[in-house]
Amino acid sequence: MADINIKFDDKPSESLQTGDLIFYTPTSVEGSYNTNNYNANIIKLGILKSITETDGKWELLIDAFDYAGEPTVNDYFFFVKNNAVNTSGLKGYYSEVKLKNDSVSKAELFSVSTGITESSK
């Protein structure tokens, strides 16, 4: 894998962090908008190694995959979180919930739900 530096004038997303997978797709100008060509490929560029800011400019250092092409100025970049690290939901073996109505008037509970993630077998 080879390193690629990509510079941006605007700050990247707050949720972008090292280890995220970076993609890009070519765009074309239609009217006053840059749009994705629906026939264009989405290219998996590589894994983000670092994010640095210098004088209001942002630079991403990406560990690019060997088969990834070189991005151009007007390409649209996006990222996917590393799901081995960034999981959501509670994990564990046991949970207890107590619902209490502290009002003096009648109250009706419409719905209760949960999300369960199996943490081990």
Q: How do residues 17-41 score in pLDDT, each as one tens digit?
A: 899 999 988 887 777 777 776 666 8
The C-alpha atoms of residue 72 and residue 78 are separated, in whole angstroms, by: 14
Helix (H, G, I), strand (E, B) or coil at 7: strand
Positive or negative torsion for Cα 19, 25, 28, 31? negative
Q: How do residues 59-95 score in pLDDT, each as one tens digit?
A: 999 998 887 678 888 788 899 987 776 665 555 666 7
Helix (H, G, I), strand (E, B) or coil at 113: coil
- What is the pTM assigned to this prediction? 0.62
CB 43 within 8 A of CB 68: yes
Helix (H, G, I), strand (E, B) or coil at 24: strand
User: Whats the size of the chain, residue-wise?
Assistant: 121
